[in-house]
Structure 1
């Protein structure tokens, strides 16, 4: 049914104020959300109302992520309750843990704390014990709590590094990892079938008084830092280290927890960027609260480092599950390490520490490291020489976390996992990326290198010299139009006008193999069928080139982006970095010029 003008506005408002149609119920429980709709109606904002009410958020990437506001396409009291009711229906018996960050949206009355309280009310209304954190926590605390307390699920209310108006709802299963199929698909389908909120789901005040509600904050704070201390190997060095480190939480939750992590490792506390130390949902000092964006987010950190004589900057994203690192070079310039470069450093360090503790040479056959398919293959290079196992998974820690769980259940040691989007799992106590433990472990690595008169940059060069240079170049285009995205990827799949007729060359570069994890096609397999899981709900094609280059194009699961990832690998001993970088630059230029045309003029390039 298509409605126009004021008739549509009146019907939307009528629905929102308690009327129902086809089972949809919109209840005015939050006066601020109602007020937003009334204002939009008063202004005749047809397009804005359509955007709010014409579609429903998709439950994917282990949960929800969208702007806070009214309507089925936004994060609000009603959509939180609807989602939580379905999560509850799909659970096995047992308790759940709920955490939240500091995000808030005053115009709509939405906030992470309120959403967490509503989710708790839903579970308690059906007799499910709830461990609701009494204060903000980093995301890693939720999967840690699931495992530590043996719970059946965990929920974290956060939008991580997304813009300030957004929020999210991330779900972990009883194995401590983010949910994957069939649970995520089952939840998504069931939401549409169970839209009416239970009356008691709104009763947050009663829920907060229930004996079924417990606060795990103090216990988990103690147990988490005990768990990560197992990865501290150089206390004497840590105590005597003269290295000065700056840390920023980018207005998120990370400050208190990183300070505690450094204390657990006997490291000198890092200098905190005062302007960004405390949680602030407005993120007033940054355009994007995402340290992955690089220098623009780290300007205040660099200024503090210069004043204090610090040589390293650590940065967490707002929910502290990611970590960025920058180091001052001899030239006086700051080098912001890419996610792949930091993955190489942390992977090398984790193996070196493990090796120090394990004298049995045969034990290495039981060790695994993981990375996502769009991340650098440097861990594969290290594994080939050192004798441990390396595996790649689909993009995202939901895949790495679940694979790690499988390996742990088989008695294997999962030492490290990472993705190029500055996500690192340095401890199997948390089967997800964890920027808090990664910060402390990076701090110890930095202190150790200093005793050897070495730096992160120097050690990274040493890693590449020993295991082979892995040069990466990643970026993205912004695109809000799904038709444009589908047109681009469909053209690549039908390059010569026939099905599965992918490009065989890109400029001067010859293509030797194609893997399409949207359709399940893989030219490297005898049956042309991909080994890794496929998903038609997202776009992802990988091209392997005859010169050893690999390029993956994919859509983001949480942002309106078409991302591309490229890497050129050289054998150990090949140190002609200048040539490798030039070859990769030329390859990237060819990909942008050939694969992103003719849609390029409809795409917005990555902001400088």
Structure 2
């Protein structure tokens, strides 16, 4: 059905949107970006749609579509899909992203030729966007290696390295809702782009006018786009399986890809490795970007709700574990049975600690560890991993900003031959040298091997966790967040970061704050005075890490505060630690620590709401 032609012209549209800014119906940033789309020739095809929105005075939609130029965050460019807009994922912003990557590479390298790898997951529009990206990059003169079928993000990272590519791109929005998609850019190492490359690409994106593009099928015929698929994927699976450290395979379980691509990587790796009694949870296996059988259509394996459908079946078939990968299969979630036969969700921190302990013990048994080997984690990942690593007489590198690209960077800077394990609390894990991004497949392989070994000793994952707590102290971690969408939400996040930085809370629940490490200002401040006491040099980022002490229980707590780099959220990470002198007191210690943290979280969210009300 044809839409009616707009009755206003460009000048009237600019006047209308300028008035909307004055009346606070439209943000200034949206007005600035809108002007470009209204007046610059590369956006001419979008003009009728834009004028209709302006004529209808649909300023809410316009603000959502234009309040920013999507930046490269911790996971690339990611956001709401729409037909147009600088702040959304659409044909133009995908083409700009691909153009920016290719143009920046050519300028940086001084070469007009090169190689690129491109993959996509099973989200809505992922294949279409991947074909656009391939067509743009091929038009720039690079040979594109294009995965024919939906694949996982770590497979793309592997392909960049395996095929000696200069750059790569993955079309995915990870665990976001069905409305979203995104573009992850990769460099020749197989890692996501880091400074200064990320800013260089964005600069090229912003300067883009007419973008070169070639017909996809024509480019395939000419050999500019080369189709790859199982030939590379099988090599990837072999690389993952080469990191097996056990022959124990007696394990009954369920795997769900949450309607994503995990069956092609995680499940096939487990089957090939010999875990024949790990079966698929069929109702969530269809590749479907609407995620129809996932609760709330939110395919995030960090959410306990996503496991509920599988738990019902797992109980009927006597499964011992449920594994879930997110839609692009770079993250793995775990639900496992405890001694009471109940399925309990493990946090990313708990899984990371168990896997670090597993690989360090295995490497110690094989005498392949030296004090020069290293484990890597981000600043918002559990301190338990650092304690386990130090006990194994191995280096811990734990001062990294959030984003697996920083773990990949550290691998190469420190020497990949010394890399043992890398992890972040949001279900990201990696070992080996085969790729440079987190991988649900290696995590699934090791979790299953560990549990199969524990099962042979009549133990559960939770028994092993308790043993680690007794040895290193009880650790309780978690995360809460506040969603703040659009330009108004972005301003709220800025206000909250400002309040935490300038006028932080002195006490929340039974916890009193004693100092804060400010990674933006690179200083440590004493509280409640909030005066600088020390400085440090790195890492630099918009993160705050508070330290607090509890009353009564000898509890130490850290609170991390940061804006998300991939979602419209501000995130709060808490880390509680208390020594356990008597194993018989562990249950009581857990209960008391949980009570303290629950009171703290309630007070924290109350302080946040009050701060936003008065800002």
TM range (shorter): 0.7 to 0.9
Spell out, residue by residue over 1:194-233, the C-alpha distance to the aligned partner (whole angstroms, 9 max, x if none): 2x133x4153332232312222322221211221122213
| Structure 1 CA distance for aligned equivalents of residues 48 and 246 of structure 2 | 57
2:314 counterpart of 1:309: no
1:396 is matched with which residue? 403
2:231 counterpart of 1:223: no
* Displacement after TM superposition at 1:319 (Å): 0.7
* Displacement after TM superposition at 1:380 (Å): 1.0
Give the direction of change, closer, same or farther, for the CA distance of 1:295–1:511 in structure 2 (3 Å limit).
Answer: closer
Asked whether the 8 Å contact 1:177–1:405 carries over to 2, the reply is no
Give the direction of change, closer, same or farther, for the CA distance of 1:5–1:402 in structure 2 (3 Å limit).
Answer: closer
The range that moved more, 443-452 or 327-336, is: 327-336
2:216 counterpart of 1:204: yes
For 1:114, which of 128, 133, 145 is the aligned residue?
128
Normalised to the residue count of structure 1, the TM-score between the two structures is 0.86
* Displacement after TM superposition at 1:591 (Å): 5.9
Asked whether the 8 Å contact 1:369–1:390 carries over to 2, the reply is yes
2:415 counterpart of 1:408: yes
For 1:52, which of 37, 56, 65 is the aligned residue?
65
Q: Aligned runs of 1:509-520 on 2, under 5 Å? A: 509-520=511-522
* Displacement after TM superposition at 1:35 (Å): 9.4
2:76 is matched with which residue? 63
Secondary structure, in 3 states, of the residue corresponding to 1:55?
Answer: coil
Give the direction of change, closer, same or farther, for the CA distance of 1:251–1:298 in structure 2 (3 Å limit).
Answer: same
2:260 is matched with which residue? 252
1:528 is matched with which residue? 534
Spell out, residue by residue over 1:93-121, the C-alpha distance to the aligned partner (whole angstroms, 9 max, x if none): 531100101111xxxxxx11111111111
2:529 counterpart of 1:541: no
Asked whether the 8 Å contact 2:100–2:204 carries over to 1, the reply is yes
Secondary structure, in 3 states, of the residue corresponding to 1:140?
Answer: helix
2:43 is matched with which residue? 26
Asked whether the 8 Å contact 1:553–1:564 carries over to 2, the reply is yes
Q: Aligned runs of 1:424-573 on 2, under 5 Å? A: 424-480=429-485, 481-495=489-503, 505-506=507-508, 508-523=510-525, 528-535=534-541, 539-546=542-549, 547-571=555-579, 573=581
Give the direction of change, closer, same or farther, for the CA distance of 1:158–1:2 in structure 2 (3 Å limit).
Answer: same
Structure 2: which 5+ residue stretches go unaligned? 1-12, 21-32, 550-554
Q: Aligned runs of 1:233-382 on 2, under 5 Å? A: 233-235=245-247, 237-238=248-249, 241=250, 243-286=251-294, 287-358=296-367, 363-382=369-388
Normalised to the residue count of structure 2, the TM-score between the two structures is 0.85
Asked whether the 8 Å contact 1:373–1:395 carries over to 2, the reply is yes
Asked whether the 8 Å contact 2:138–2:214 carries over to 1, the reply is no
Spell out, residue by residue over 1:111-165, the C-alpha distance to the aligned partner (whole angstroms, 9 max, x if none): 1111111111112112211111011001101111122222111110000100001
Give the direction of change, closer, same or farther, for the CA distance of 1:38–1:333 in structure 2 (3 Å limit).
Answer: farther
Secondary structure, in 3 states, of the residue corresponding to 1:156?
Answer: strand
Give the direction of change, closer, same or farther, for the CA distance of 1:476–1:190 in structure 2 (3 Å limit).
Answer: same
Asked whether the 8 Å contact 1:246–1:313 carries over to 2, the reply is yes
* Displacement after TM superposition at 1:309 (Å): 1.3
Structure 1: which 5+ residue stretches go unaligned? 9-15, 105-110, 496-501, 604-608
* Displacement after TM superposition at 1:345 (Å): 0.9
1:108 is matched with which residue? none
| Equivalent pairs, count | 567
2:117 counterpart of 1:97: yes
| Structure 1 CA distance for aligned equivalents of residues 59 and 547 of structure 2 | 47
| Structure 1 CA distance for aligned equivalents of residues 357 and 177 of structure 2 | 33
2:16 is matched with which residue? 4
Asked whether the 8 Å contact 2:291–2:299 carries over to 1, the reply is no
| Structure 2 CA distance for aligned equivalents of residues 331 and 88 of structure 1 | 55
| Structure 2 CA distance for aligned equivalents of residues 386 and 563 of structure 1 | 32
